[in-house]
């Protein structure tokens, strides 16, 4: 996230750290992530009681083993990062991840189809994954990749995801030309209302970034800097509904 260069970093009040931690998907999606790095990610998630770890599918089984006795969910990515897999492939990926222990699925939409105006194809793609994931009692977050969309396309993508029964809409993969912005989060929250979650991801590195996005309407944050955020010094978070509100 690109914050105002002149803004002063505002740390987080200790009493708010637990609430913030449960908004964080502790993320490691680098292609060169090693088992040692994934293990450390899980240890940090255990320590801070983050909402989840978010990893590539190859690491799901390891994370599920390491986090089996904790309150930390295992999130993985499907059709990632381009969204250009076939629907059948995305469904297979999702089912395989669930079998290996994933409890949350972050899927990327068919971005090209959305931009071509093929909304029915986009809807079928999302609906198929949602059906497979919900059948296993897990959550679906739909990544719309805001950096590649116009505002009208962002609105349309959120409407389709909501109609398809997804649990969250998510801003970004972190692998495109931009990440989460306050504008996009506010727009997405306006579209989905209180019935869905909004996950901001991409470029969230400071407590100030987190607070701005939460104020805009995010109730989940995808970041690799979770430890830094929850260990910040004392300063209150903005007043905002808890993650369970959405």
Which active-site residues does the annotation give? 106, 170, 199
Q: Which residue, among 142, 140, 155, 75, has the nearest Cα to 108 in the 3D structure?
A: 142
Return d(Cα 69, Cα 61) in angstroms, integer. Answer: 14
Characterize 106-125 residue by residue with b for buried, 16 or more Cβ atoms within 10 angstroms of its Cβ, and e for exposed.
bbbbbbebbeeeeeeebbbb
Q: Which residue, among 42, 99, 4, 39, has the nearest Cα to 226 in the 3D structure?
A: 42
Show the tokens assigned to 2: 């690109």
Return d(Cα 125, Cα 83) in angstroms, integer. Answer: 10
- Helix, strand or coil, per DSSP, at residue 218: coil
């Amino acid at each position: 996230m690109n914050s105002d260069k002149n803004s002063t970093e505002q740390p987080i009040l200790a009493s708010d750290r637990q609430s913030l931690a449960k908004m964080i998907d502790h993320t490691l999606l680098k292609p060169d992530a090693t088992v040692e790095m994934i293990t450390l990610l899980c240890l940090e998630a255990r320590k801070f009681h983050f909402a989840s770890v978010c990893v590539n599918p190859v690491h799901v089984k390891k994370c599920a083993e390491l986090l089996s006795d904790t309150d930390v969910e295992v999130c993985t990515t499907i059709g990632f990062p381009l969204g250009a897999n076939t629907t059948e492939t995305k469904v297979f990926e999702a089912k395989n991840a669930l079998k290996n222990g994933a409890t949350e699925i972050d899927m990327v939409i068919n971005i090209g189809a959305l931009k071509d105006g093929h909304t029915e194809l986009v809807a079928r793609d999302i609906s198929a994954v949602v059906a497979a994931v919900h059948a296993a009692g897990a959550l679906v977050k739909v990544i719309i990749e805001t950096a590649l969309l116009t505002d009208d396309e962002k609105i349309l993508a959120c409407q389709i995801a909501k109609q398809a029964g997804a649990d969250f809409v998510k801003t970004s993969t972190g692998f495109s030309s931009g990440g989460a912005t306050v504008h996009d989060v506010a727009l997405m929250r306006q579209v989905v209302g209180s019935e869905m979650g909004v996950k901001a991801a991409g470029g969230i590195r400071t407590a100030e970034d987190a607070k701005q996005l939460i104020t805009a309407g995010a109730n989940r944050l995808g970041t690799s800097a979770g430890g830094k955020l929850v260990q910040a010094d004392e300063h209150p978070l903005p007043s905002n509904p808890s993650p369970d509100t959405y």
